[in-house]
């Protein structure tokens, strides 16, 4: 079986333990002889592990009362918007990562991969923002006091130089960051907070399918505003519950720091 005959759906099923018989033997034979194929399989394993790290703690949380009552067909009291969006975000990211990400790799002939990456970038950023901004104990994986370690680690995982912009002039201080899954493989999130406890996040991923740079674009997902752009093969998305003009000003500062 040639390397070209082993699809991304084969690799995904292999990593998930869903292959057997001739298909399993063919994939294993390809992995033994093809370094690029092994690297692609490793990317799927990394994404699978990252999803478990990301969502296992959330799935252990009690189901919000509003969702439980809805499932029972009962009338539900008004729920806290942040909590409802947080659970909706978990469902959305599981669907996005498991379906859109799968489709992006497995069906490249059916759609423009770059266009799919561009379209999914603001949603992935908004979901990551909604999941982690409410966190009190663990908003970041590595704190700002270890910034050199954080940026070095994320640079290695994303395969490109990663920098955490300084936003002190905008009133926001770096809290830290974390590794996240994305449709382009590993992604990253930096989180910032102002003196009033308001937070914003910068999400990024890197992929060769980002063939051309883009200007700023704006999207809104679940009340979260997102300015996003592509520069040098890396997708960036700045997310916050801020007025559009204010978020644009911060996005411009981020861009200038990344392009001195």
Q: What is the pTM of this model?
A: 0.62
Task: Write out the H or E segment, with its range, that includes residue 49.
Answer: helix 35-59
111-140 tens-digit pLDDT = 455 555 556 788 889 888 988 888 888 899
CB neighbour class for 122 (10 Å; exposed up to 12, middle 13-18, buried from 19): buried
For the chain, what are the domain ranges? 3-56, 80-258
pLDDT tens for each residue of 63-88:
556 555 555 555 444 444 555 555 55
CATH superfamily of 80-258: MucB/RseB, C-terminal domain (3.30.200.100)
**CA-closest candidate to residue 169, choices 76, 95, 254, 42:** 254
Angle at which helix 81-95 crosses helix 113-132, to 10 degrees, equals: 150
User: How far apart are alpha carbons 156 and 150 in whole angstroms?
Assistant: 10
Looking at residue 49, what is its pLDDT? 64
Q: What is the mean pLDDT of residues 46-59?
A: 60
- Which residues fall within 8 angstroms of residue 5, CB to CB, at 6 or more apart? 26
Distance CA 7, CA 241 (A): 40
Of these ranges, 13-27, 99-113, 142-156, the one predicted with the greatest mean pLDDT is 142-156
**pLDDT reading at 143 higher than 70:** yes
Phi and psi for 2 in degrees, rounded to 5? -80, 160
């Amino acid at each position: 079986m040639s390397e070209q005959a082993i699809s991304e759906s084969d690799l995904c099923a292999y990593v998930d333990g869903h292959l057997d018989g001739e298909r399993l033997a063919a994939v294993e034979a390809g992995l033994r002889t093809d370094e690029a194929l092994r690297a692609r399989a490793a990317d799927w394993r990394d994404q699978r592990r990252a999803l478990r790290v990301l969502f296992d703690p959330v799935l252990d949380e009690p189901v919000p009362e509003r969702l439980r009552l809805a499932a029972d067909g009962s009338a539900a009291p008004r729920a806290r918007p942040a909590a409802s969006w947080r659970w909706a975000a978990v469902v959305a990211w599981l669907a996005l990562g498991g379906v859109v990400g799968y489709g992006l790799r497995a069906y490249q002939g059916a759609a423009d991969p770059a266009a799919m990456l561009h379209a999914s970038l603001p949603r992935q950023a908004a979901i990551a923002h909604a999941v982690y901004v409410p966190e009190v104990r663990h908003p970041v994986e590595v704190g700002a006091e270890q910034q050199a370690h954080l940026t070095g680690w994320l640079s290695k995982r994303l395969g490109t130089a990663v920098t955490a912009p300084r936003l002190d002039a905008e009133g926001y201080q770096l809290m830290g960051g974390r590794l996240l899954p994305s449709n382009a493989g590993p992604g990253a999130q930096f989180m910032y907070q102002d003196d009033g406890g308001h937070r914003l996040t910068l999400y990024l991923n890197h992929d060769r399918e980002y063939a051309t740079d883009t200007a700023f674009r704006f999207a809104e997902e679940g009340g979260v505003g997102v300015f996003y752009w592509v520069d040098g093969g890396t997708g960036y998305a700045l997310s916050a519950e801020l007025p559009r003009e204010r978020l644009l000003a911060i996005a411009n500062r981020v861009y200038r720091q990344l392009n001195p």
